[in-house]
Structure 1
Amino acid sequence: MTADPATPGAPGTSASVAPHAAGSGPATDAAASLAARVLRHGRYEALAMLRNGEQLVLAIVLPLLALVALVITPLLDGFGPSRIDVAAPGVLALCTMSTAFTGQGIATGFDRRYGVLRFLSTTPLGRSGLILGKAVAVAGVLGVQLVVIGGTAVLLGWEPRTVGIPGAALLLLVGSAAFTALGLLVAGTLRPEATLAVTNLVWILLAAAGGVILPASALPAAVEPFVAVLPSAALGDGLRSALVDGSLDPVACLVLLAWATVASLAAIRWFKWS
């Protein structure tokens, strides 16, 4: 006679599995540390961004197209030793903006709309863990961008100054913090549709005339002082200084640090979780 599946102890049912002995097994394992929870959430968000078609276009495809276009056109002639030397640092700055500001801002805005932020903030991850997880996700995606875009630039003839790589890494770290804070500020204060429009519009404006691709010094004298204090110009010019000249630009670091600090404080003050 066949055993009733609903009968306790019937073969093939969960009830037939012996319970864990006291003091052993997953049931009594200690809760994961905050660092572990942050890393797991960061990994989840990074994979979600890379699996999203629109995010992938913004993070990888558009920067690659921009890099190739800048190398084969004379737009950057006269601004450095070669087109690729000027283009590669600018496109890496563009990648930082795409991932930390536009991508994270849009994702956070819609998470906020559908109640995901409010739900996650009540879990053991907590609000601070959620924000740190997003920062980890940005760093992870940015690492993928650096490999893909940087590798493509090297194939196109780019030879960055190795002495400037540590300074460039510092600028990317502070720059990603500044743009992530700005993206969270926009996402936490505006409606998702407005966040989508604002982040995309700002990305286009900064990419075109924010000192990212073209150095701030190449812009009209009337606007150069204003553009020079933007985080986009500080990151673009700072990366060019590090990877082309091999020197760290302290002013660019201070500008990015100031934007990161002010934007973070503003996001803490005005961010709405629902």
Structure 2
Amino acid sequence: MSSPISPAPATVPGPATGPATPVQRWLAQARFETMTILGHGEQLLVALVLPAMALVGLALSDVPDLGPGRRIDVATAGVLALAVVSTAFTGQAIATGFDRRYGVLRFLGASPLGRDGLILGKLGAVGVVITVQLVVLGGLAAVLGWRPEATGLVPALVTVALGAAAFLALGLLLAGTVRAEGVLALANLAWVLLLGLGVLLPTDRLPDAVQGLARLLPSGALGDGLRLALVEGHWPLAQWLVLLVWAGLAGAATVRWFRWSD
């Protein structure tokens, strides 16, 4: 008598899998870029430690002359501008420059992420890190007595967004056209020079010979824009226009001349 044949066990379907969507790839890259910035000692130093030291130093001293208004309010606006420059320009220029040198950009540009996804990932990471900076530095400033104008909070956020776009475009332009060693030197030099060209020091405190130039630079527009918003509660429309022009010109130049490998 033949033995019965047991039926084959039913196959339980697993979860549906497939290629990640463009949005998922962008979010994954943004998360990776964010963790790279926050987990890198040198970038964290530039993004948070140095701005915090500048804030405490300016708040507790009488020099340099920051002009009218409560000193802590003027100093905080300048330090928030410094934080934007540190993350969107200096940090991204150096990181992207060395990624290009070691072939990371070429690899990612040819991957499913693509070049657009890579840029969007960097933009998302800059936005997240700047948000962290605003919270941490704003909290420190509040402890030191900072009381921003409530009517200036919305225009301040717009100014931060436009400033981040302009400086990120400039950082990518530098990273994509100059060798990594040159990017390192130029990005750090620019960071130091911009401190006194409208970032920490208001443009109306500068010598007459450079006031006009400083107001046309993205550093002057960002710093003065945040001071007008947070100290006086104004909408810095002229400064927004300057930042939009710089973002547009630097963005167009980056698209035209950015090299994905040395």
Query: How far apart in 2 are the matches of 1:76 and 1:119?
Result: 47
Query: How far apart in 2 are the matches of 1:149 and 1:78?
Result: 19
Q: Which amino acid aligns with 1:51?
A: G
> Does structure 2 retain, via aligned residues, the 8 Å contact 1:76–1:87?
no
Q: TM-score, length-normalised on structure 2?
A: 0.93
Alignment of 1:206-245 (within 5 A): 206-207=194-195, 209-245=196-232
> Does structure 1 retain, via aligned residues, the 8 Å contact 2:66–2:201?
no
Query: How far apart in 1 are the matches of 2:25 and 2:72?
Result: 40
| Structure 2 residue aligned with 1:82 | 70
| Structure 2 residue aligned with 1:172 | 160
Q: How far off its partner does 1:25 sit?
A: 3.1
| Structure 1: stretches of 5+ with no match in the other structure | 1-17
1:262 to 2:246 alignment: no
Q: TM-score, length-normalised on structure 1?
A: 0.89
Aligned residues between the structures: 253
For residues 7-61 of structure 1, the C-alpha deviation after alignment (integer angstroms, 9 at most, x for no partner) is xxxxxxxxxxx9x85xx535x4242222221111111111111111101110111
Taking CA–CA contacts closer than 8 Å with sequence separation of 6 or more, which of the two structures ends up with the larger relative contact order? Answer: 2
Partner of 1:211, secondary structure, is: helix
Aligned-CA RMSD value: 1.5
Q: How far off its partner does 1:81 sit?
A: 2.2
Query: How far apart in 2 are the matches of 1:65 and 1:164?
Result: 25
Alignment of 1:9-20 (within 5 A): none
1:125 to 2:125 alignment: no
> Does structure 1 retain, via aligned residues, the 8 Å contact 2:66–2:75?
no
| Structure 1 residue aligned with 2:3 | none
Partner of 1:272, secondary structure, is: coil
2:35 to 27, 30, 47: 47
Query: How far apart in 2 are the matches of 1:82 and 1:76?
Result: 14
1:115 to 100, 103, 123: 103
| Structure 2: stretches of 5+ with no match in the other structure | 1-8
1:192 to 2:208 alignment: no
Query: How far apart in 1 are the matches of 2:194 and 2:253?
Result: 21
For residues 219-266 of structure 1, the C-alpha deviation after alignment (integer angstroms, 9 at most, x for no partner) is 111111111100000000000000111111100000000000000000
Percent sequence identity is 54
Partner of 1:194, secondary structure, is: helix
| Structure 2 residue aligned with 1:249 | 236
| Structure 2 residue aligned with 1:15 | none
1:69 to 2:54 alignment: no
